[in-house]
Structure 1
């Protein structure tokens, strides 16, 4: 049975954390623990495995980082600093950006205790990561594939003394996408360990959960609701040929909003961002086909409000803490309702309000019905002035025509030269290299 909230816990001290971590929380401005932290931390401090299902933006990272750091400090005090395992805890993440974010939170909490953390993700220099491992970090945050690269190829790297394993966004990690890498990892880490599974949406497939080798885990569901009450969710029905016009209309009407637009493919992020840029809407794409440096650059542009619209695939849907997101638009409806939960969870975080609008054409209605069934409620319609939307048709179609021509040209250049001119244009726009192009000046 899910554990009940302990109402008497009012502070991080009440959770049973050591003084050093209470001070670290205070220095970060964390005044009171969140609901998931109140639910999870006491059980973790008792040495229990956890399966935690909590809303996005609820403080999940702190819920597993705090007990791990508390255990590390306790290990030091009892057995001495030098006797502690070098690689004390491993946190696995399905995306590079989430791994980097988790590591930064560990480092912030452990800044006063000399904590060392290594991030092992694809898209980054493997030699630099090997150097990082050589500095004897206590915490490793990794994507499964790159972790296995190091276990197979980095001399002297082993996890045989590991004490803690965390699967963040566990439902994604336990899917078929990561099955082989995860099985290989389970085969080389100790069975005698603490294991935490955290996610905003958790699979009910018991066999999948059993793969993580949990031992009598405590099930924690910090909320019965899949989405927060401060999120205003709407759907907008339209014929498919007008979808781009509806997108432009909404972004124009909400011009002061920071918005994430979710698409199904990497190509669509590039096409839509170009269409929007041609219409003087400050947009930038982010997808798995971009280099890590470009992805980080795009996120930084969006966080700093230099760009108001981030056009993205589901690579940006999980775990990223971008407090300034005012609105999420589902340009393409996800076929898995759990992906919807993660997407709309990018807004209305930590008690803030937010808006989520899903553009639904005649071919996507079946998927949206599944989403409504999953979240347990019918969503109201967003009804713009249809005539005003149709007035945008000519401008939007011309912008789309020019964007398609540009992408076709760069695709041809890629085949001829083995490069990608479009990526170079994005790099200049992000300030990664070279001078700004017309693409960048449009902002």
Structure 2
């Protein structure tokens, strides 16, 4: 097998000058591994299954080929078709982030995007659809609501379908909506499936109507990035709050995401930490969409340096300044760990992940170790006086 040539520029991938310039404008100097491997196949018109570590540039890997196709059509037909591509996301925040990425890359070509997610007034979204956007980014349930109830809206002209965080979208939570969407969109299209973790759901992948897809693995099946320092502390359940406060006090200037299992826990922990003088804010599925976005924006802006969250914030969100992730509760699904710790050490930066493991969660943690094939540095109960360094 011939040795693959290392791609050093976006121009070498076959992208047009307008998109190369757009990449430079958003600060992308060279293609990431997933971009370098996926974009040439996508430009050839092939369906893709892309597996890459979180924070590795998956959005660019599917957005750039779609924008190139739009540019070529606009050049030949002098008009850019509406509802050209649809991107499905499992969470509202990720959908909004994907739309922002499309708009940044397509700013030079007057790209129009519409975001269809729950928790937002449907009439506002209907007005956005009335402007005939080129790209629709949506959660499956809300997209199906509009396909059913919004007069004049259809995806009959759709040329590209993207399932981001595909393993989650292929779960039972979204099965009904996804089936309905696949039944009403054109079969003649390009389909891209991207995720940091991919499960072997062959029947469900076939149902997504992929045609001889190219599978790209820019990472081992389940892995975390090399620049991430991973540790755990084995602590009694009743003292877990004390350990959390101790760690956060030691790194008080750091930007930290704390993951819990329940929505109630996010609120209680945030209240506790605020009363102790910490700048903490919760985000969970029980909050309205405006409050969720408000919390996220305060965290991104540095007004609050501790975000207490459920797994609603574990998928795909790109918050460059996160120094540390703390698993206050160990996830029962081992793959969720990979998504959680992927909020730090993104795009080549370093980061720390600390998991607080109590006596009831040890089995779940051993499953995580087995999944990603490594053992962590153990900080036991006796190590309480040890400084946390990041």
TM bucket (normalised to shorter chain) is over 0.9
Number of the residue aligned with 1:141: 137
Question: Per-residue deviation at 1:252?
Answer: 0.8
Contact between 2:282 and 2:308, CA under 8 Å: does it hold in 1? Answer: yes
SS at match of 1:381: strand
Mean Cα deviation higher: 138-147 or 224-233: 224-233
Which residue of 2 is the match for residue 105 of structure 1?
A: 101
Map 1:8-157; keep pairs closer than 5 Å.
8-81=6-79, 84-157=80-153
Tell me the residue number matched to 1:172. Answer: 168
- The equivalent of 2:320 in structure 1 is 323
Q: Any residues of structure 2 matched to 1:228-307 within 5 Å, and which?
A: 228-307=225-304
TM-score (norm 1): 0.85
1:378-393 equivalent positions in 2, closer than 5 A:
378-383=375-380
Length, aligned pairs only: 385
**How far apart, CA to CA, are the structure 2 residues paired with 1:314 and 1:299?**
14
CA RMSD of aligned residues (A): 1.5
2:367 to 365, 370, 386: 370
What's the CA shift string for 1:360-392, capped at 9, x where partnerless?
Answer: 011001100100000001111124656669xxx
Task: Determine the C-alpha separation between the residues in 2 that align with 1:180 and 1:98.
Answer: 21
Alpha-carbon shift at residue 137 of structure 1 (Å)? 0.5
Shift in Å at residue 160 of structure 1?
A: 1.1
Q: Look up the SS of the partner of 2:36 in the other structure.
A: helix
Looking at structure 2, the residues matched to 140 and 173 of structure 1 have their Cα atoms a distance apart, in angstroms, of 16
Task: Name the counterpart of 1:354.
Answer: 351
Q: Distance in 2 between matches of 1:258 and 1:385?
A: 26
Residue 379 of structure 2 aligns to a residue whose secondary structure is coil
Question: TM-score scaled to structure 2, two decimals?
Answer: 0.96
Q: Counterparts of 1:384 and 1:255 in 2: how far apart (Å)? A: 21
Query: Shift of the alpha carbon at 1:5?
Result: 8.6
Gap regions ≥5 residues in structure 2: none
Indicate the residue corresponding to 2:216 in structure 1.
220
Deviation digits for residues 121-141 of structure 1 (CA, Å, limit 9, x no counterpart): 111111111111111111000
In structure 2, how many angstroms separate the alpha carbons of the residues matched to 1:204 and 1:97? 26
Query: Is 1:191 matched up with 2:172?
Result: no
- Report the Cα distance in structure 1 between the residues aligned to 2:167 and 2:247, rounded to whole angstroms: 32
Q: Distance in 1 between matches of 2:3 and 2:357?
A: 38
Structure 1 residue 342 corresponds to structure 2 residue 343: no
CA distance in structure 2 between the partners assigned to 1:208 and 1:248 by the alignment: 43
Identify if the C-alpha distance between structure 1 residues 168 and 4 changes in structure 2 by more than 3 Å, giving closer, same or farther. farther
Q: Which string of whole-angstrom CA distances, capped at 9 and with x for unpartnered residues, describes residues 77-123 of structure 1?
A: 22331xx5310000000011100000011001111111111000111
Say which SS state the counterpart of residue 72 (structure 1) adopts: helix
Alpha-carbon distance, 1:16 to partner: 0.3
Which residue of 2 is the match for residue 204 of structure 1? 200
Change in Cα spacing, 1:45 to 1:212, as seen in structure 2 (3 Å) is same
More RCO (CA 8 Å, sep 6+): 2
Matched residues in 1 for 2:102 and 2:207: separation?
26
The 1:152–1:36 alpha-carbon spacing in structure 2 relative to 1, beyond 3 Å, is same
Question: Helix, strand or coil: the match of 1:14?
Answer: helix
